[in-house]
A = this chain, B = another copy of it.
Amino acid sequence: MGIIRKTESVEILLNEFHDTETALSTIELIKRLGKRINKTTIYRVLSKLEEDGILHSFLGFDGVKWFARCKACTRSQHSDVHPHFQCISCGKTECLEVKVNIPKLTNREVLISQFIIKGKCNLCVA
């Protein structure tokens, strides 16, 4: 249904994504905000922000859901189709501004795709 009312929860959550390009897991957000916002609300607001094309989500290697800011998505179309990188050392998870070429598949209709890469990030690779 998307966001209709500007509530405190929405504002607080949007704020967490405002000053960062990196993705945040639901777990991390609950850890940070769990005392101010109920976890049920956190889950609901996140999924509404996704519906609205403000955030996009993906599953990390551990099966936990991550969210990150969209750059050029709208409510009707999520156009953020890029790989996500998860660092095994520091845990930082980020969107990669790289084009993915989805392989041509004969006789199949592609709807969504997800590409996750695990490794060491620029700071941890040393």
Chain A residues close to B by CB (< 8 Å): 59, 61, 63, 65, 83, 85, 88, 96, 98-103, 105-122, 125
Chain B residues in 8 Å Cβ range of A122: 106-108
A98 to B102, CA, bound (A): 10
CB distance from A50 to the nearest CB of B (A): 14
Given A85-B108, A115-B113, A117-B110 in contact, is the A103-B103 Cβ separation under 8 Å?
no
Chain B residues in 8 Å Cβ range of A116: 113-115
Residue of B61, B63, B113 near A112 (CB, 8 A) is B61
Given A59-B63, A85-B108 in contact, is the A117-B113 Cβ separation under 8 Å?
yes
